[in-house]
Amino acid sequence: MARPGRGQHPRRTRAGVARRLLSVVPGVRADRPAARRAVGAGDPRTRPRRRPRRPPARCAGRPVGAGGRAAHAGVPPGAHTPVVVGARAADRGSAQGDDPGVTAIGVDVGGTSVRAGVVDAHGSVLDTARGSTPSGEAELEDVICSTIETLRREHEVSAVGLAVAGFIGNDRRSVMFAPHLAWRAAPVADRIASRIGLPVVLEHDANAAALAEYHFGALRGARVGLLIAIGTGIGGALLIDGKLFRGAHGVAPELGHLRLMPGGRPCPCGKSGCWERYCSGTALSATAVDLLSRHPSSTLVREAARDSRALTGRKVAAAAREGDPVALLAMADLAKWLGEGLALVADVYDPELIVIAGGVSESGPLFLDDARDRYRAVVTGAGHRPLARLRIGHLGDDAGLVGAALACGLG
């Protein structure tokens, strides 16, 4: 068999990939037949038909409570942990038909929402459930278990991966620190696993998104690829020859908390002037509020007058698309700081490709060209060195949960 050329990938057998990736899930041995059957490897009856990845269907969700199997997960029957579920209509047939294939649940635990999805071996999201992120540690784990159990009522799954915006231990069982979440030195994987009765593995949310984009999206084929996930804050992930760079203690690269403005805006991490305080959904909102006093004609003035906290980055982005002057200025400021940060990380890592992911990336046409120009202008050796290509991620909101499923042994 001819060896693949540069930029090509050898075909991976599902059994081989399952055995290789299952080794990251504690308590599951990939060389045992029972373990292979648990993810469908080696059983021709469970092999899904190959089909192209479809764009995610947008379906209205319906609210459900925390009863039913959520009680089995350790959630008290009377607890109020509302979850919204939204089936992917285009993919439902493969989830419930005669050939369901290998599936796992990926959970993207963000600063504002918990989003879970049933993911198949080809990266398609078959079903989703969502809940709001509470401030308390126990309440957060209740919501996570509720979203998982909501999906398990309809789908057989082999394992669960959690993509977390925080420092993940090298054992990928514990969250050491999470600026936007309640966990501190918390054995999250073991606690969730004991409640749901499935293997659980943790991954940094940006690492999870990078894995998904490498296998199924915009990072595919990159030898040195960097992913910048811009949402509530900024997460970063570095892939070298398809392998995640984690650093000595599992926390690298923590790009969102690089200090770009000493003495600047305070950050939940305890520092001030962090990159994500000027380039994120939260930053977009803060910048817009700062600008409103000088632009009383902005449509955002009325929104902020009712409650400035309700002026979210998503609302600012929507106003920018409508041509609101304050929203456009806030977006230009975000583009400037994105370019400054990209130049800094390019000086350190010299990637060939940088992918912008996360919720803010949906507004890429409003800021990406300006950010690229800024990056090209301020990077060290500007005009005398090759520069990284810059593009928007392909998987959108699905990247984190698809990557979480990959991290727990799906692929």
One domain for residues 164 and 201: yes
pLDDT surpassing 80 at residue 73? no
Diameter of the chain by CA atoms? 68
Residue 157 lies in a domain: yes
**pLDDT tens digits for range 96-107:** 333 347 799 999
CB 410 within 8 A of CB 38: no
Q: Do 267 and 389 share a structural domain?
A: yes
Q: Are residues 174 and 273 in the same domain?
A: no
Let me know if residue 306 belongs to a domain: yes
278 and 175 assigned to the same domain: no
Q: Lowest-pLDDT range, 1-10, 112-121, 188-197, 256-265?
A: 1-10
Whether residues 360 and 315 share a domain: the answer is yes
Looking at the structure of the chain, the number of domains it has is 2
What pLDDT is recorded for position 85?
55
> What percent of the chain is modeled with pLDDT above 70?
75
Q: Using pLDDT thresholds of 50, 70 and 90, give the confidence band for residue 36.
A: very low
The number of beta carbons lying within 10 Å of the beta carbon of residue 357 is: 31
Residue 7 domain-assigned (yes or no): no
**Helix (H/G/I), strand (E/B), else coil: 129:** strand
Measured in whole angstroms, how far is the alpha carbon of residue 40 from the centre of its chain?
26
| Mean pLDDT of all residues in 214-243 | 95
The answer on 155 and 18 residing in a single domain is yes
> What burial class does residue 308 get, using C-beta atoms within 10 Å of its C-beta: 0-12 exposed, 13-18 middle, 19+ buried?
middle
Helix count and strand count (H, E) for the chain:
13, 15
Instruction: Specify the DSSP element, H or E, that contains 256.
Output: none
Place of tokens 């080794």: 23
Predicted confidence (pLDDT) per residue in 128-180, tens digit: 999 999 999 999 999 999 999 999 999 999 999 999 988 999 889 999 999 88
Contact by Cβ (8 Å): 43, 121: no
Domain match, 77 and 203 both: yes
The answer to whether residue 34 scores a pLDDT higher than 50 is: no
> Does 242 lie in the same domain as 98?
no
Task: Find tokens 């305080």 and name the residue.
Answer: 277
pLDDT over 90 at 272, yes or no: yes
8, 230, 274, 232 alpha-carbon torsion, rounded to 10°: -150
Flag whether 232 is in a domain. Answer: yes
C-alpha distances in angstroms, 302 versus 290, 295, 299, 311, 321?
A: 14, 12, 6, 10, 18
Residue type, 284: L
Token pair 């693949």: residue: 4
My answer on whether 140 and 227 are in the same domain is no
The pLDDT score that the predictor gives to residue 293 is 85
User: Has residue 51 been placed in a domain?
Assistant: no
Q: Which of 18-22, 190-194, 246-250, 306-310 has the lowest average pLDDT?
A: 18-22
For the chain, the average pLDDT equals 80
Q: Is residue 227, in this structure, part of any structural domain at all?
A: yes
Pair of tokens at residue 308: 């400035």
Whether residue 244 lies inside any domain: the answer is yes
CATH of the domain at 316: 3.30.420.40
In terms of residue numbers, what domain contains 69? 14-46+59-214+399-407
302 plus 384 within the same structural domain: yes
Eight-class DSSP state of 274: B
> What pLDDT score does 86 carry?
58
Burial per residue of 165-197, b for 16 or more beta-carbon CB atoms within 10 angstroms, e otherwise: bbbbbeebbbbbbbbbbbbeebbbbebbbebbe
Q: For residues 208 and 247, state if they share a domain.
A: no
Output the CA–CA distances (angstroms, integers) from residue 190 to 116, 160, 175, 257, 366, in the order listed.
18, 12, 11, 28, 42
Contact 81/143 with Cβ under 8 angstroms?
A: yes
Residues 229 and 132 in one domain: no
Is residue 195 included in any domain, yes or no? yes
Tell me which residue of 116, 104, 87, 97 sits closest to 48, measured CA to CA. Answer: 97
